Amino acid sequence: MLLVASDHAGFDLKEKLKTTLDRLGVAYDDLGTHSTDSVDYPDFARRVAEAVSRGQAERGLLVCGSGQGMAMTANRYRGVRAALAFDEETARLSREHNDANVLALGSRVLDHELAARILAVWLATPFAGGRHQARVAKIEPPEER
């Protein structure tokens, strides 16, 4: 299950990306926000990051104005590897090399078509493992390894 969330700035793009998910046949749950009324992005990033951290969801999609705030918040949670992607290549590499389990996108810096392509690549790209596995393991603080 993919969890999706946005703040008010990311709401419109999130709604458009849900149609992409439907087209791709990806099951998802929308954790909000549900309008363009002003909200605080950490509240919505937290909903997704906590679920991914607890193993209640395999992956998450977060959308705000730049994607930065959502990624920063999500990465505070153990086991979450949120990647801010701005093109298909950064999306692919975030999965292949870093095993990113949360994708952050910026509605003010990406148009819908590019964001949809980024999302599709991110969802389709497996983690390569191998030499990357040990590096990914080092992301967690030493006391949690």
Give catalytic residue positions: 64, 97
What are the DSSP E strand ranges found in the chain?
2-6, 28-30, 59-64, 82-84, 102-106
Query: What are the residues facing 2 on neighbouring strands?
Result: 28, 59
Helix (H, G, I), strand (E, B) or coil at 142: helix
Burial class of residue 68, CB neighbours in 10 A (0-12, 13-18, 19+): middle
Measured on CA atoms in the order 118, 140, 126, 59, is the torsion positive or negative? negative
